Amino acid sequence: MTATAVRGRARTRFPTGTALGLGSAVLYLSLIVLIPLAFVAWKSLEEGPGGFWASVTTPDAWAALTLTIGASILVALINLVMGTLIAWVLVRDRFPGKGVVDTLIDLPFALPTIVAGLVLLALYGPDSPLGVNLAYTRAGVVLALLFVTLPFVVRTVQPVLIELDQDMEQAAASLGASNLQTFRRIILPNLMPAMLSGMALAFTRSIAEFGSTVLISGNLPFKTQVAAVNIFSQIEGDNLSGAAAISTLLLIVALVALIAVDLLQRWGRHRG
Amino acid sequence: MVKRLIVLIYLLFLLVLPVGLIAWRTFGDGLGAFFEALTSSSALHAFQVTLIVAVWAVVLNTIFGVGAAILLVRHEFPGKRLLNALIDLPMAVSPVVVGLALILVYGRFGPFGGWLEGRGIQIIFSTPGMVLATVFVALPLVVRAVVPVLEELGDEQEQAATTLGASRWQTFLRITLPGIRWALAYGVVLCLARSLGEYGAVAVVSGRLVDQTQTLTLFVEERFQNFDQPAAFAAATALALIAVLTLLLTKFLRPKG
């Protein structure tokens, strides 16, 4: 830390190429990302902290926020278990068609969110061939979020599991440890940082999700309307400062989760 | 064995059956109906808008992505870690918030938007705004694909070329670019897929004007809400086919190791 600071001060002038490139990159990033996001934060505080608080605690906004955060926590936990299990099967199990399953895991990332919503509505909507109708329910919202967040935990746990040395497990087993003991004492501690960071990524994606929930939630305020959809209807209703306040709150929650990921990864690296 | 069964059933009901069902419903009435639904004038217009927006966004993000990757890997400057972190920021922002942010700055009542409108340039509810929104959501993809390969490549060959009298541009074209070409292709494919499929951010900034600013994803939603299921399913299947193609391409292009 100090070394870089000293080096930075010693070379206050860097090559023109660097300066030009850095200038253009920062300009591009500022015009498209940073200035617009700063305007959201600024707009949300237009009427002071009291106005901000009033905007996020209107009954419909508050209902949307609590639903979003509650559903996202549930989705993150299901992903923690199912994602780890899927990664386990993909790494340790052998069966025909495993390569296809492995490729399919990334499909939710490649599929446009509105298509994901439509696809789920086709199977779990009013015309469901299975007779399961989750349209306009909170279960439908959770289902849509599970679909779009599927790859996160799988793809963070999988590489760690591939690298994991099986010698330790064999040693534990030969010393008389049961399968459960080996899992709890040897495997789980090694996988935990990756599992948690995958879970945090799934959580941040869930609280931000819009497209996949639009069709299946039916956008019913107080019942199935998630935060992003609430922001959307506020924008349509020309209440930009209300929309900005909820947006800012979502951004803060996402940043806290991302910082948590970063800390977890560092913690994992120190232990590894 | 039990684990495998649980995983396969979970994936079957969450992923395979829903996606399979939509393909089956679309092609159930034959290929003719599929193409008929996709060649209506609204659908064709939506294709055109989608393509224009996606190509602009990919070109801009590719230029930025390669430049930023070289900057992050080959150059030293204060604030490098901050820049690195800021490039990932778009991933954490809800698409709807992206739209709102752009409206606040580039909308009629925004500082830039008002100024540009005075000069006859409209950003929001028109193509430039949609390009900006798409650039925003797909911004990190090319950078993140190129950075690791550039790091692995090292700069020995580039230095050798410079020593032998190659200009900076020659070094880039003859040494750097060939070295990163597969990673770049991987990033471009990811960026293109994301751009073609973006819904939320574009829904906000486009104003969703049918036959004007309607992209393919907006077409899917609008047709579905208007009870035109065949058209919605056909367009959704077309987008899903693009997604599957992307998946296969990226599997082939992904840097090994």
Our CA-based measurement puts residue A155 at a distance from the nearest CA of chain B, in whole angstroms, of: 14
Range of the domain at A18: 12-44
Q: Are B242 and B193 in contact (CB under 8 A)?
A: yes
Asked whether residue B136 is domain-assigned, the answer is yes
State whether A143 and B78 contact (CB < 8 Å).
Answer: no
Residue B218 and residue B202 in contact, taking contact as beta carbons nearer than 8 Å: yes
Is B51 a member of any domain? Answer: yes
The answer on A154 and A37 residing in a single domain is no
Average pLDDT in chain A = 89
Interatomic CA distance for residues B11 and A233, integer angstroms: 33
User: What is the structure's pLDDT at A272?
Assistant: 52
Q: What is residue B145's predicted lDDT score, i.e. its pLDDT?
A: 94
- Whether the CB of A235 is below 8 Å from some CB of chain B: the reply is yes
Nearest to A210 among B15, B197, B200 (CB): B200
Is residue B109 predicted with pLDDT exceeding 70?
Answer: yes
CB within 8 Å of chain B, chain A residues 21-60: 21-22, 24-26, 28-29, 32-37, 39-40, 43
Q: Is the pLDDT of residue A33 over 50?
A: yes
Number of structural domains chain B divides into: 1
Interface test with A, best of B62, B93, B216, B219 (most A CBs within 10 A): B93
For chain B, say whether A259 makes contact (Cβ under 8 Å): no
For residues B148 and B145, what is the distance between their CA atoms, to the nearest angstrom?
7
Q: Which chain A residues contact residue B3 at CB under 8 A?
A: 85, 88-89, 93
Is the Cβ pair B78, A8 closer than 8 Å?
yes
The answer on A113 and A201 residing in a single domain is: yes
Is A6 contained in some domain?
Answer: no
CA of B54 to nearest chain A CA: how many angstroms apart? 13
Predicted confidence band of residue A7 (pLDDT cuts 50, 70, 90) = very low
Which of A92-96, A183-187, B83-87, B195-199 is predicted least confidently?
Answer: A183-187
What's the start-to-end Cα distance of chain B, in Å?
29
A100 closest CA partner among B251, B3, B21, B192 = B251
A171 within a domain of the structure (yes/no): yes
pLDDT of A4 reads 45
Chain A residue with Cα closest to B143: A25
Looking at the fold, whether A31 and A81 belong to one and the same domain comes out as: no
Residues A81 and A195 in one domain: yes
Per the domain annotation, does B63 fall within a domain? yes
Q: What is the mean pLDDT of residues A200-228?
A: 93
B216 and B238 Cβ atoms separated by less than 8 Å: yes
- For residue A1, the model assigns a pLDDT of 39
Q: Locate the chain B residue with the closest alpha carbon to A30.
A: B86
The reply to whether A40 and A157 lie within a common domain is no
The answer to whether A220 faces chain B, any CB pair under 8 Å, is no
Q: What is the mean pLDDT of residues A161-179?
A: 86
Q: Do A39 and B217 touch (CB under 8 A)?
A: no
Residue A7, number of CB atoms within 10 A of its CB? 11
Confidence class for position B252, pLDDT limits 50, 70, 90: confident
Residues A98 and A21 grouped into a single domain: no
Q: What total number of domains does chain A contain?
A: 2
Q: How far is B90 from chain A (nearest CA, A)?
A: 7
Cross-chain residue pair B247–A107, CB shorter than 8 Å: yes
Is residue A105 within 8 A of residue A150, CB to CB? The reply is yes
Is residue A175 pLDDT above 50, yes or no? yes
Residue A271's contacts (CB-CB under 8 Å, 6 or more residues apart) are A193
Distances (CA, A) of B29 to A45, A116, A211, B233: 54, 22, 27, 12
A186 band by pLDDT with thresholds 50, 70 and 90: confident
**Chain B residues close to A23, C-beta within 8 Å:** none
Instruction: Tell me, yes or no, whether B35 lies in a domain.
Output: no
Residue A71 sits at the chain B interface (C-beta within 8 Å): no
Residues A39, A56 within the same domain? no
Q: Does A263 touch chain B (CB under 8 A)?
A: no
Structural domain of residue B200, as residue ranges?
A: 42-253
Question: Tokens 């009427």 identify what position?
Answer: A47
Cβ contact (<8 Å) for A18 and B22?
A: no
**A85 close to B (CB below 8 A):** yes
The verdict on residue A174 lying in a domain is: yes
**Do A20 and A149 reside in the same domain of the chain?**
no
Tell me the H-state helices in chain B.
Answer: 2-11, 17-27, 30-38, 41-74, 80-88, 95-106, 111-118, 127-153, 156-163, 168-171, 177-197, 200-206, 216-225, 229-253
A164 Cβ contact list (under 8 Å, min separation 6): A187, A190, A191
Q: Phi and psi of A29, rounded to 5°?
A: -65, -40
Q: What is the mean pLDDT of chain B?
A: 92
Is B5 part of any domain? no
Q: Do B243 and A115 touch (CB under 8 A)?
A: yes
What is the nearest CA distance from B242 to chain A, expressed in angstroms? 8
Q: What is the pLDDT of residues B187-221, one digit of tens each?
A: 999 999 999 999 999 999 998 888 899 999 999 99
Q: Does A104 touch chain B (CB under 8 A)?
A: yes
Among the partner-chain residues A35, A89, A119, the one whose CB lies closest to the CB of B22 is A119
**Residue of A101, A112, A247 lying closest to B197 (CB–CB):** A112
| Pick from A198, A54, A264, A63: nearest CA to A206 | A198
pLDDT above 50: residue A3:
no
CATH number at residue B229: 1.10.3720.10
Whole-number Å distance between alpha carbons of A214 and A229: 7
A137 and A231, same domain (yes or no): yes
Closest to A140 (Cα-Cα) out of A109, A116, A107: A116
Cβ neighbour number for residue A10 with a 10 Å cutoff: 7
Instruction: Using an 8 Å CB-CB cutoff, list chain A residues near B208.
Output: none
Contact B102, B75 (CB under 8 A): no
CB pairs under 8 A between A and B: 224
pLDDT in tens, B62-99: 999 999 999 999 999 999 999 998 998 998 899 999 99
Within a domain: A194: yes
pLDDT at A14 over 80: no
Shared domain check, A101 and A38: no
Quick check: A32 and B135 CB within 8 A?
yes
Confidence of residue B255 (pLDDT cuts 50, 70, 90): low
Mean pLDDT confidence for B169-193 = 93
- pLDDT of A198 > 80? The answer is yes
Least confident stretch, A112-116, A236-240, A262-266, B220-224:
A262-266
Q: How far apart are the first and last CA of chain A?
A: 22
* A2 occurs within a structural domain: no
Asked if residue A34 and residue A155 are part of one domain, the reply reads no
Q: Which of A88-102, A179-193, B68-82 has the lowest mean pLDDT?
A: A179-193
What is the mean pLDDT of the segment spanning B142-168? 92
State which residue of chain A sits closest to B13, comparing Cα positions: A123
Answer whether A107 sits within 8 Å of B15, measured CB to CB.
yes
Confidence of residue A9 (pLDDT cuts 50, 70, 90): very low
Token pair of B76 as six digits: 């030293």
**Interface ipTM above 0.85:** yes
Rounded to a whole number of angstroms, the distance from the CA of B87 to the nearest CA of chain A is 8
Same domain for A142 and A215: yes
